Amino acid sequence: MDHRRQIHFLSGELKFPPVDLADAEGILAMGGDVSPQRVLLAYQKGIFPWYSDETPILWWAPDPRFVLYPENYKTSKSLRQVMRKKQFTVTFDHAFEEVINKCQNVPRAGQDGTWITDELKETFCEIHRLGFSHSVEVWQDGELVGGLFGTSLGRAYFGESMFSLVSNASKVGFATLVPQLINRGIKLIDCQVYTDHLSRFGALNIPRSKYSEHLEVLLDFDSLQGSWKNWSKEDE
């Protein structure tokens, strides 16, 4: 018997099917558009876009969901040593477009191509202008050598992508971001799907149903909307 679910095709209407209709891989729907309004709605529903220039727009709601509870966050002894050396400077929202360009174009071992299409890049830039998507920049001798970006809604933070041009740069960016999120009441960091890299920070898989329950609670809070540029100055 074939237990695969039928993938839904989205129309121009701004809505998604229930997440429990996703297929075994986690694909929920296909098509529609990646307007800022649709992407923000997707995150509120526990859904995210993940596709390439060679595929239709695909919307995912995998089960299980890979998340990091900030209180479970941990760093290695070696990373703490790197951070104590202060060889990097970390800022927030100083170079969003440059960070997303790097995330799109810097090659990654074992990956062919990128999910950040030009249309999605423009969408996230607009969501950044709306005050919901934010970048973390890691600088060395005035050069951008690492970074990441994500979207903040309610008391949840949805990680998108990171890049590193020198060893430990993106790790330092993430390790700087998490305590800042904790201080501002963020209770969940969405990492989407499992990676060894983030599991070392304490991320783990949880059932999709539990993830949806978390969102119902956390999205009732106000978002950390607006520029995060002053975050990097508060600890100086």
> Residues 4-33: pLDDT tens digits?
567 899 998 999 999 999 999 999 999 999
pTM value is 0.92
> What digits encode the pLDDT tens for the residues 184-198?
999 999 999 999 989
pLDDT of residue 5: 67
What's phi and psi for 11, nearest 5 deg? -100, -165
Contact in structure between 123 and 48 (CB atoms under 8 Å):
no
As beta bridge partners, residue 153 has: 156
Token readout for 148 is 């990441």
